[in-house]
Amino acid sequence: MEKNTIDLLVHNIGLLVTMQGKQEARTGKEMSNVGAIEKGAVAVRDGKIVAVGREEEVRAQIAGLAIEEELDAKGKLVTPGLIDPHTHLVHGGSREHELDLKLKGVSYLDILAQGGGILSTVRATRQATEEELFTKAKGSLDIMLLHGTTTVEAKSGYGLTLEDEIKQLRVAKKLNESHPVDLVSTFMGAHAVPLEYKERPSGYVDVVIQEMLPEVKRQGLAEFCDVFCEHGVFTVEQSRQILIAAKELGFGIKIHADEIEPMGGAQLAGELGCISAEHLLAASDEGFEAMQRAGTVAVCLPATSFNLRLKKHARARTMIEMGIPVALSTDYNPGSSPTESIQLVMTLGCLNLGMTPEEVITAVTINAAHAIGKANTIGSLEAGKQADLVIFNASNLAYLPYHFGINHVNTVIKNGNIVVFDGKLC
Ligand code: IZC
Ligand code: ZN
């Protein structure tokens, strides 16, 4: 039977950005429709939203019900919980030693080709215990939550043996079970060719397809499979083989496409019907057309291009105009994007990709939800969806990307529970 009480009423919201309206992935001008309401309120019961809108309307809707707790938003800005749809959350070690190489002009792919980069994190991750990986990733998840992120996609890909990939995925599963932030897991055994297979990369592709994918599926440890399709990593043909095998096993599929070299990864994403394609700095118009036809979400990662000192940016404006839904993400990882802050990414989305504050908030809420197949439960504030919302120390959307490099979060509500209050974890 329905409870006749309201667990939490968030009221006195100055500007309530709901993302109400079209719930399919948003493209073109729809990316500017953020469903903003002045003087708003949100009523929550059992972790879900029961009413959302202008405060007087919400109060009328819930009239007669006892309200267990009221939270005064003090006229501030409220948005849906932010979604980070592309991270390499679970890993051992860090790579600050690469900064010096980077400053000397050594490229990301050259560092990898010399056995560093991803492969140095593979060594650290293989050496780490499950507990050590858990503690480190939990620290990062706490930082993400403090910055307003309530759902995170997390990839494996630093184990590169069946056992070590499973170790990473088990950590993500345990974090999902124990941390307020929800995790969505992606198997990325095809993140790099391990040194053991340096002379025989096709042998490693066989291991990924024949051993790893079926076992990860059997243990139910990942929803998605991703491949790093890049010069010197996995070819388009190898990526195709792996993603087709994953699709046949029932995984959703994703691809790191055309980040540094134009490889045809975006075309492959469209051809195979990937749910998302990531990076895309070097993607061609043909690649974009294929993605547009397939409805593939473009996940742009501007903190990565910033950190790699690339002169180029993903062509977000072109994609938005072509009708490709654009999402934004941190790409949090120890090499090319050591930051947990989705707010920094929002600033870079504006300043480096030319997106407006409205397009940016769409990209980290409803479109990010689509990139991980979760738009039926998160990504907007609507009756029936999860009560994931953020109160910012701001009165309008533009203030978030404008005042950059700091944390604007005041309060985070996750599944109806206050988990960050006054900028601190509860
Ligand atoms: O550890 O460098 N790009 N994978 C693809 C990464 C960056 C993560 C890393
Ligand atoms: Zn990545």
Q: What is the pLDDT of residues 234-266, one digit of tens each?
A: 999 999 999 999 999 999 999 999 999 899 999
121 lines ligand 1 (CB under 6 A): yes
Q: Hey, which bits of 46-95 come out as E strands?
A: 48-54, 66-67, 70-72, 77-80, 82-84
Q: In this structure, which residue's CA is closest to atom 5 in ligand 1?
A: 228
- State the distance from the centre of ligand 1 to the C-alpha of 16, rounded, in angstroms: 36
Residue carrying the six token digits 């749910």: 275
Q: What's the one-letter identity of residue 154?
A: A
Per-residue pLDDT reduced to its tens digit, 149-182:
999 999 999 999 999 999 999 999 999 999 999 9
Quote the CA–CA distance of 174 and 51 in Å, as a whole number.
Answer: 32
Quote the CA–CA distance of 58 and 65 in Å, as a whole number.
Answer: 12
- The token duo for 316 is 């977000």
92 lines ligand 1 (CB under 6 A): no
Quote the CA–CA distance of 204 and 207 in Å, as a whole number.
Answer: 5
Helices and strands counted in the chain (H then E)? 17, 19
Per-residue pLDDT reduced to its tens digit, 276-328:
999 999 999 999 999 999 999 999 999 999 999 999 999 999 999 999 999 99
Give the DSSP H or E segment for 57.
helix 55-61
pLDDT at 213: 98
pTM of the model as a whole: 0.98
Instruction: Taking residues 226-240, report their average pLDDT.
Output: 97
Q: What's the one-letter identity of residue 25?
A: A
Per-residue pLDDT reduced to its tens digit, 110-120:
999 999 999 99
The dihedral built from the CA positions of residue 353, 358, 359 and 363, taken in this order, carries a sign that is: positive
- State the distance from the centre of ligand 2 to the C-alpha of 78, rounded, in angstroms: 29
Q: Are 40 and 52 in contact (CB under 8 A)?
A: yes
Q: Are strands 252-257 and 417-421 parallel, antiparallel or unpaired?
A: unpaired
Beta-carbon contacts of 20 under 8 Å, excluding residues fewer than 6 positions away, are: 35, 52, 380, 381, 382
157 lines ligand 1 (CB under 6 A): no
**DSSP conformation class of 56:** H
Instruction: Taking residues 49-64, report their average pLDDT.
Output: 97
Percent of the chain with pLDDT over 90: 97
